[in-house]
Amino acid sequence: MASEPAARAVAEEIGRWACLKQTGVSLRYMMEFGSRPTERNLLLSAQFLHKELPIRIARRALELEYLPYGLSNKPAILKVRDWYLDSFRDIRYFPEVRNQNDELAFTEMIKMIKVRHNNVVPTIASGVQQLNQELCSTRKVHPGFDEINQFLDRFYMSRIGIRMLIGQHVALHDPDPEPGVIGLINTRLSPVQIARIACEDARSICLREYGSAPDINIYGDPNFTFPYVASHLHLMLFELVKNSLRAVQERYMNSDKDVPPVRIIVADGEEDVTIKVSDEGGGIARSGLPKIFTYLYSTAKNPPDLDGPNEGSTMAGYGFGLPICRLYAQYFGGDLQIISMEGYGTDAYLHLSRLGDSEEPLP
């Protein structure tokens, strides 16, 4: 446990760094810079991160101190705050990066920081869920409180950026990258291929949970490629397909009718690559549509307990899937739109900017 003067000094330093200006980067810049992972470029990248990461981490650590409705005092939020404080200290106390040995040591350190923050999403979710249950039981405030949603949007968008910057720098050290891969960015990514992998992963969970799973039909040119981050696209498609499979499965579980397939269409436009995930799972009521991008709203009949053993492995959601999917799409200038027809089904339109010029949003 840090002494009180030491803790106060860290708090003051976080306050100073949180006031500094963040520097955004674009997908195109990451590709151009990373295409030449020389010792000099890796050193420049580490020096940039040594200055940039403390600013971004300090902003989130400071915000965690001043959340409304007593959320800052929930044990789960305090745990996440401590992770951010530890990471801020690690980077600030790391000496100036001057040479290759420094750069390699710095890379190992930020790699450990990325691991430390692996469970931020479910941990934050457990704290918000606890607050939500308390407020609902006391009827103090409507459970869709806007301030919390705005905080979570800022927090998770920043987290995506921090993990992208760290992951890109670490991945540039790969001595034998796949052809066309620059760090985390695949310059020749096939959305049809990623859709197939995401569908297999989502169907395997559906099969385990229900004993069967609807078919999935994918339409699009498998040879079409564009530059994007494979892990981001997989995460978004996996979540969207999982939602569709669950909706269709639950609608037709006790029906004699043929189960309609989930359909995925990949379209290559001049400005966007658009992927539509379409189902006949009964749709969402019009009154529920404004809530689908708010946290802790779920169309699942029985959302799982976040304290249970099944985090990340069930068909039902915690209400964080769609809003986080949209943030991943927006991070590189895209978007996610949901159009639903109650009594029939839902179409999710995932727009991915293929221009690569948009700088990351800096909350």
| CATH at 102 | 1.20.140.20
Please give the span between the terminal C-alpha atoms of the chain, in angstroms, as a whole number: 31
Residue 317 belongs to a domain = yes
Pair (191, 334) in one structural domain: yes
Range with the poorest average pLDDT among 15-29, 231-245, 302-316: 302-316
In-domain check, residue 137: yes
**Are residues 143 and 190 both part of a single domain?**
no
Higher pLDDT, 291 or 330: 330
**41 and 63 together in one domain:** yes
Element spanning 42, H or E:
helix 39-64
Does residue 358 lie within any of the structural domains?
A: no
- Residue 362 belongs to some domain of the structure: no
Tell me the one-letter amino acid at 277. V
Nearest to 230 by CA among 199, 184, 274: 184
Classify residue 287 by its DSSP letter: G
Same domain, yes or no, for 13 and 143? yes
pLDDT tens, 82-137?
999 999 999 999 999 999 999 999 999 999 999 999 999 999 999 988 888 887 76
Residues 207 and 109 placed together within one structural domain of the fold = no
The SS3 call for residue 263 is strand
Q: Residue 290 and residue 293: Cα distance in Å, rounded?
A: 7
Tens of pLDDT, residue by residue over 19-49, are 999 999 998 999 999 999 999 999 999 999 9
Same domain, 275 and 219: yes
Residue 345 maps to a domain:
yes
- Check which CATH number belongs to the domain holding 189 and give it: 3.30.565.10
**Tens digits of per-residue pLDDT, 344-363?**
999 999 999 987 767 778 87
Residue 322 belongs to some domain of the structure? yes
Enclosing domain of residue 216: 185-353
Going by pLDDT thresholds of 50, 70 and 90, the confidence category of residue 300 is low
Alpha carbons within 13 A on the beta-carbon side of 162: 30
**How far is the C-alpha of 235 from the C-alpha of 102, rounded, in Å?**
33
- 265: exposed, middle or buried (Cβ count in 10 Å: 0-12, 13-18, 19+): middle
Tell me, yes or no, whether 212 and 278 share the same domain: yes
Last residue of a domain, one of 144, 179, 214: 179
Residue 363 lies in a domain: no
Same domain for 205 and 163: no
| C-alpha Rg value of the chain to the nearest Å | 22
Residue 253 dihedral angles phi and psi, to the nearest 5°: -60, -45
Residues 135, 189 within the same domain:
no
Going by pLDDT thresholds of 50, 70 and 90, the confidence category of residue 308 is very low
Range name among 160-169, 218-227, 312-321 with the lowest pLDDT average: 312-321
Helical residues (DSSP H) of 139-293, grouped into ranges: 146-171, 191-210, 230-252
pTM of the predicted protein model: 0.91
Listed residues 161, 179, 197: the one ending a domain: 179
Answer yes or no: is 205 within a domain: yes
* Per-chain mean pLDDT for the chain: 90
Neighbours of 125 (CB within 10 A): 21
DSSP result, 100-151: HHHHHHHHHHHHHHHHHTTTHHHHHHHHHHHHHHHHHHHT-S-TT-HHHHHH
* Same structural domain, 52 and 103: yes
Provide the number of structural domains found in the chain. 2
Indicate if 174 and 191 belong to the same structural domain.
Answer: no
User: Does residue 288 surpass a pLDDT of 80?
Assistant: yes
Mean local confidence (pLDDT), 237-262: 95
Q: Do 100 and 9 lie in a common domain?
A: yes
Cβ atoms of 114 and 49 closer than 8 Å? no
Neighbour count for residue 48 (Cβ, 10 Å): 16
Residue at which a domain ends, from 179, 202, 227: 179
